[in-house]
Chain A
């Protein structure tokens, strides 16, 4: 094997940074983002030999990161809903608001409060600059759903910032 891990090592060098940024924007947590990206590479390692088009690796990786983040948040959501039930009506999702928090920081926090799918759609559309069709392909849903995820996500962000 070549130094640095052969083919997988090369792919890691080429794609890990962009995958990590995507994971970070989706999770808001660098350590978690790092774990998700590492898991994604491990997951894809078993399929490398079946990858006919090496140019498709980027898309596979992106989809795997999104799916792993989604499944992480699904587990968290179940946990959170349990905690919420235990704690009565307290809303654990909305972080405490401080006077000195800037609008951008407020928007960042509000973004973390969206559902995982809304956040993924927003990050893929506004950070990765993907088309609605490409975003739908990665999320495994119709383009109409992407439109509504993005518009509801933006609406929720606007509401949070206005009322926060």
Chain B
């Protein structure tokens, strides 16, 4: 093992030494960089101008002073979509399918539509981790790629919207490790996932089934949690 690492180190340094040193910045790079810097500055100035204008109009509106401008028409709200509504927590039954090992617990959380109508899930789930008493446990949250992307599969139809007909399931890929901090020594930990249509989907993880990974770091460390977006199961 150590031999392999030493060989690898030597190889990487030898290969790196093959790269010849550079001189000054190439003119083409400088040109592109200047263009980029100008675009960034112009974008920033435009944002500032818009903010200043918005602020001025806001102050005017609060002061109730006469305005020389035509009153701003509120935009007409878009017609309500005729497609399926966003799934509420009450529509979904969660199931946990976690593998365990190497200090990790993870896999997928399946959400099955148990309602009688179609509903949709979309985007990155909002997660709160709590202990058995309902106290929030701070975690280091990382966003992971959807499984279809990791496996270089075809993008599912309709992505990023996942439409669930009654009985169909969506999934969220999840993995966590180093369950220290507030999760350390807990018999159960709850993952509270906000449903887009309202309410919270509660997923209870048990230490006796190893769904809560061990704390391998400092006892006060936050657990590391990786969560992917909603995707078809």
Contact = CB atoms under 8 A, between A and B. Distances in A.
Given A12-B25, A142-B224, A122 B8 contact: yes
Contact of B7 (A45, A48, A104, A145): A104
Nearest to A33: B19
Given A12-B24, A148-B102, A41 B33 contact: yes
Contact of B9 (A9, A77, A127): A127
Interface residues of A, number: 45
B8 A16 contact: no
Nearest to B140: A142
Looking at chain A's contact residues, the main secondary structure is helix
Contacts of A17: 19, 21-22
Contacts of B41: 49
A158 B19 contact: no
Nearest to A8: B33
Nearest to B32: A42
Interface in A10-52: 12-13, 16-17, 20-21, 24-25, 30, 33, 38, 41-43, 45-49
Contacts of A42: 29, 32-33, 36
B19 A126 contact: no
B11 interface: yes
Given A20-B19, A123-B12, A141 B25 contact: no
Contacts of B53: none
Contact of B16 (A16, A24, A43, A140): A24
B25 A4 contact: yes
Given A25-B16, A45-B33, A127-B16, A144 B104 contact: yes
Contacts, number: 115
Candidate in B30, B103, B216, B224 with the most chain A CB atoms within 10 angstroms = B30
B34 interface: yes
B142 interface: yes
B38 to A, nearest CB: 9
B15 to A, nearest CB: 6
Nearest to B175: A145
B177 interface: yes
B19 A154 contact: no
A98 B45 CA distance: 59
A127 B33 contact: no
B168 interface: no
A13 B25 contact: yes
A131 interface: no
Candidate in B21, B25, B103 with the most chain A CB atoms within 10 angstroms = B25
A157 B4 contact: yes
Contacts of B71: none
Contacts of B103: 144
B208 interface: no
The 9 closest A-B pairs by CB, nearest first: A142-B224, A45-B33, A46-B40, A144-B177, A12-B25, A127-B12, A21-B16, A81-B152, A46-B36
29 contacts: A4-B24, A12-B29, A13-B22, A16-B22, A17-B21, A20-B19, A21-B16, A25-B16, A38-B28, A42-B32, A45-B36, A46-B37, A47-B40, A77-B152, A78-B152, A111-B8, A122-B8, A126-B5, A126-B9, A127-B12, A142-B140, A142-B178, A142-B224, A144-B104, A144-B224, A145-B226, A148-B104, A157-B4, A158-B4
